[in-house]
C-alpha cells in the first residue's frame, strides 16, 4: 500500500501567515494512521481550515506539510469528507512544533476505548536519524500495539533482545543500521501472548524507515486488526505486513 493521504504543503500556512516571517519559523510534519479501529480521517490543526492530510486510512501516511512553528498546536481528526467546521472526531493535546524541526505525528490507540492507557491519541516524534553508512539502511521502531504495555524486539531472531519498548513509545531517534543486501528477520515477543515473527526487506541503501508495530496482539490471524508491521520510508510510502502468529 502506497501513501494515500494527500498533503497540503505550505497551504496550511495560509491561515497563520502573520506568524511566519522566515523558513526558520516553520515546522515540517507528516501524519501516519496506525489506529486499527479508527476510520479514514482528514487531519487538521486547530484554527486552520485547510487540512494537513485527507482520506488517511489505517496503514497510510501523508507527505510532509509545513506549519507555523508554535506552542500548543492541537491536531483534529474528522471523518473523511466532513466539513472542517464540524465537531472533530478527536482533538489531541497541545504540541510544540519547534522551528525547523521535522516530525511524524502518529495516530494510535483505539477509538472504541475511553481508557487512558489505550484510547485514541496523537504521538508526535521528531526525526533525526543518524547518517547511514555504506550497505545499510536505518530502522526506527515504534510500539503502537494498543492492548499490551510492552513489546520485546529481537532483530535477527537469534534470541537477543535489542529493545523493550513501552506502549506508544519509539526506539532511539538515531535508528538501527540494517543490511541493504538481505532480508532481516525479527521476533516480536508479547508477554502473556507469545512471539510473533516476520521479515524486514532489504531497503535501498541510505533509506530511513519507521517501523510501527501495530494492531492488536489479541486479534486472531484472520482479523484485519491482527499484529502487523507498518513500514514507512522517508518518502512516506507505506506497507502494512501482518506478522506470523504464535503456534
pLDDT in tens, 175-223: 999 999 999 999 999 988 999 999 999 999 999 999 999 999 999 999 9
* φ, ψ of residue 166 in degrees (nearest 5): -70, 155
Average the pLDDT over each of 5-9, 28-32, 39-43, 222-226 and give the range with the smallest value: 5-9
Q: What is residue 12's predicted lDDT score, i.e. its pLDDT? A: 43
Confidence of residue 246 (pLDDT cuts 50, 70, 90): confident
246 contact partners, CB below 8 Å, separation of at least 6: 193, 194, 195, 196
Locus of grid cell 482533538: 91
Q: What is residue 17's predicted lDDT score, i.e. its pLDDT? A: 40
Whether pLDDT at 1 is above 90: no
Q: Which of 148, 141, 161, 164 is nearest to 213 (CA)?
A: 141
- Report the chain's mean pLDDT, rounded to a whole number: 89
Confidence of residue 11 (pLDDT cuts 50, 70, 90): very low
3-state secondary structure of 243: coil
CA distances to 30, 156, 166, 190 from 49, in Å? 17, 46, 34, 41
CA distances to 1, 103, 132, 207 from 237, in Å? 8, 16, 19, 12
Confidence of residue 25 (pLDDT cuts 50, 70, 90): confident
Which burial class, exposed, middle or buried, applies to 172 when counting CB atoms under 10 A from its CB (0-12, 13-18, 19+)? Answer: exposed
% the chain with pLDDT above 90: 81
What sign has the CA pseudo-torsion 170, 176, 181, 187? negative
Tell me the average pLDDT across 170-174: 90
Gap between the Cα atoms of 193 and 215, Å rounded? 14
Amino acid at each position: 500500500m502506497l501513501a494515500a493521504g494527500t498533503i497540503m504543503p505550505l497551504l496550511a500556512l495560509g491561515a497563520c501567515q502573520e506568524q511566519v516571517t522566515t523558513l526558520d519559523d516553520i515546522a515540517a510534519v507528516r501524519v501516519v494512521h496506525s489506529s486499527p479501529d479508527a476510520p479514514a480521517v482528514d487531519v487538521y490543526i486547530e484554527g486552520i481550515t485547510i487540512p494537513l492530510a485527507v482520506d488517511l486510512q489505517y496503514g497510510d501516511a501523508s507527505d510532509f506539510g509545513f506549519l507555523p512553528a508554535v506552542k500548543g498546536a492541537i491536531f483534529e481528526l474528522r471523518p473523511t469528507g466532513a466539513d472542517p467546521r464540524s465537531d472533530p472526531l478527536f482533538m489531541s493535546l497541545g504540541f510544540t512544533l519547534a522551528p525547523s524541526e521535522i516530525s511524524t505525528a502518529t495516530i494510535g490507540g483505539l477509538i472504541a476505548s475511553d481508557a487512558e492507557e489505550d484510547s485514541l491519541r496523537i504521538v508526535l516524534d521528531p526525526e533525526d536519524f543518524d547518517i547511514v553508512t555504506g550497505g545499510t539502511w536505518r530502522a526506527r521502531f515504534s510500539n503502537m500495539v494498543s492492548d499490551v504495555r510492552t513489546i520485546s524486539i529481537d532483530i535477527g531472531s537469534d534470541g537477543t533482545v535489542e529493545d523493550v519498548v513501552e506502549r506508544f513509545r519509539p526506539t532511539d531517534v538515531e535508528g538501527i543500521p540494517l543490511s541493504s543486501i538481505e532480508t532481516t528477520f525479527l521476533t516480536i515477543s508479547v508477554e502473556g501472548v507469545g512471539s510473533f515473527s516476520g521479515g524486514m526487506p532489504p531497503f535501498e541503501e541510505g533509506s530511513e524507515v519507521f517501523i510501527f508495530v501495530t494492531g492488536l496482539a489479541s486479534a486472531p490471524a484472520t482479523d484485519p486488526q491482527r499484529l502487523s508491521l507498518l513500514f514507512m520510508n522517508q518518502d512516506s510510502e507505506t506497507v502494512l505486513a501482518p506478522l506470523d502468529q504464535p503456534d
